[in-house]
Amino acid sequence: MSKATEPVYESLRLAESLDEAVKSTFEVILGERPTCCGSVDDSSLCPGMVGIIAVIGDVSWSLSLAFSSETAVRVAKKFAGFEIEYDSADMADVVGELANVLAGDVVARLDELGIKAALSLPTVARVSDLNLSEPGAVESLRLKYSTSEGTFLVGLAVGKSIKNSLG
Amino acid sequence: MEVCQLKVRALVVDDSRVMRNMVMQELRRSGLADFEFTEAENGADALKKFHPSKIDIVFIDWNMPKMSGIEFVRKVRSTWKNEQTPLVMITSEKTVGKAEEALDSAGANAFISKPFTAEMLDRKIAPLIKDIEARGSSRGGFFSRLVK
């Protein structure tokens, strides 16, 4: 079984927080709750755009949010309320902001569990051959979500064991 | 009788141009006032553009390069101790601790988490606009900023 599809028992609550955050965040943005299609190995959303944000604290982890170009355009319009071209700087702005908003929701859910963490500033990459990997991650998870606006991937890479932090 | 609206000078601070446009768009749509916008890309840029005599309300993100939103709020409150310009944080931060830090410790007037809906924005902003109107009226400067 590959690393990406392994059950992430140690990070179960982190993964649950991530899933709840994805659904509630995108429900506000899209007006519908995304459906989780499960974990995936491939990152076949090419060409596409990915926003990555690191979170530092009791648990060190990073979150990635990846869209195909078509989905990025549709989601950006829903989020911003106006059309944004895929090749524009504003699109990178939107994807970075979405990663930021999503990570902020996960952080708030972890905070309720007594786990403290702080957001960094997001990094955004526009890619023609998206192949996400998490070198150095102790555990990683990559989930695919489906909405009427298209599918997207959410990745989670944990930098150190969180077994003790989560109790 | 013609209906007059308060002209409100708003400073919108976010390192994301799209977020600034979203906030300005929602405020225009709200119809709460006739907004006149000034934009800033971070807390340091906002400090250069802010003065209580020139800005009626500030909408500011938390996480930004150079100077964060919370640093801006603390700086404004410590520099102009007797001024009551409403400072609204619009941020991805959602923890109770961050909200308390902004509202109770730093002196922000409202805390809005992203993503926000038009209803969320209206509910938090409407009382602040009324407050601006009341303060403007008591200073005698309100009528000069009414627009038809």
Task: Quote the mean pLDDT of chain B.
Answer: 89
Q: Cβ separation of A93 and B114 shorter than 8 Å?
A: no
pLDDT for residue B73:
97
Q: A80: nearest CA in chain B?
A: B22
B113 touches chain A (CB under 8 A): yes
Residues whose CB falls within 8 Å of the CB of residue B10, separated by 6 or more in sequence, listed in order: B24, B27, B35, B36, B37, B38, B55, B56, B57, B58, B59
pTM over the 0.80 mark: yes
Q: Which residue has the higher pLDDT, A116 or B79?
A: B79
* pLDDT level of residue A114 (50, 70, 90 thresholds): confident
Burial of residue B102 (number of CB atoms within 10 Å: 0-12, 13-18, 19+): buried
C-alpha A147, offset from chain centre: 15
Residues whose CB falls within 8 Å of the CB of residue B88, separated by 6 or more in sequence, listed in order: B57, B58, B59, B60, B108, B109, B110, B111, B112, B124, B125, B128
Enumerate the residues of chain A whose CB falls inside 8 A of the CB of residue B92: 97, 100-101, 103-105, 119
Residues whose CB falls within 8 Å of the CB of residue B104, separated by 6 or more in sequence, listed in order: none
Decide if domain B4-143 falls under CATH 3.30.70.3270: no
End-to-end CA distance of chain A: give it in Å, rounded.
26
pLDDT for residue B83:
86
- Domain locations in chain B as residue ranges: 4-143
Res. A88: pLDDT tops 70: yes
End-to-end CA distance of chain B: give it in Å, rounded.
11
Residues above pLDDT 70, as percent of chain B? 88
A93 touches chain B (CB under 8 A): yes
Enumerate the residues of chain A whose CB falls inside 8 A of the CB of residue B63: 100, 119, 121
* pLDDT level of residue B55 (50, 70, 90 thresholds): very high
For chains A and B, CB pairs below 8 A equal: 60
B84 touches chain A (CB under 8 A): no
* pLDDT single digits (tens) A97-111: 999 999 999 999 888
Q: Supply B128's token pair.
A: 């602040």
CA angle B59, B62, B63 (to 5 degrees): 135
Residues above pLDDT 90, as percent of chain A? 42
- Residue with the two structure tokens 């007037």: B109
The mean per-residue pLDDT over the stretch B51-59 comes to 95
* 3-class SS letters over chain B: CCCCEEEEEEEEECCCHHHHHHHHHHHHHHCCCEEEEEEECCHHHHHHHCCCCCCCEEEECCCCCCCCHHHHHHHHHHHCCCCCCCEEEEECCCCHHHHHHHHHHHCCCEEEECCCCHHHHHHHHHHHHHHHHHHHHHHCCCHHHEEC
ipTM score assigned to the predicted complex:
0.80
Most confident of A43-57, B103-117, B127-141: B103-117
pLDDT for residue A4:
40
The β-bridge partners of A150 are A147
CA distance B143 to B148: 11
C-alpha B73, offset from chain centre: 11
CA distance B121 to B133: 18
Enumerate the residues of chain B whose CB falls inside 8 A of the CB of residue A103: 92
CA distance B61 to B127: 20
Q: How many CB atoms lie within 10 A of CB A56?
A: 14
Q: Cβ separation of A97 and B25 shorter than 8 Å?
A: no
- DSSP letter assigned to residue A82: S
Q: Cβ separation of A29 and B19 shorter than 8 Å?
A: no
Selecting from B63, B91, B95 the residue whose C-beta is nearest the C-beta of A121 gives B63
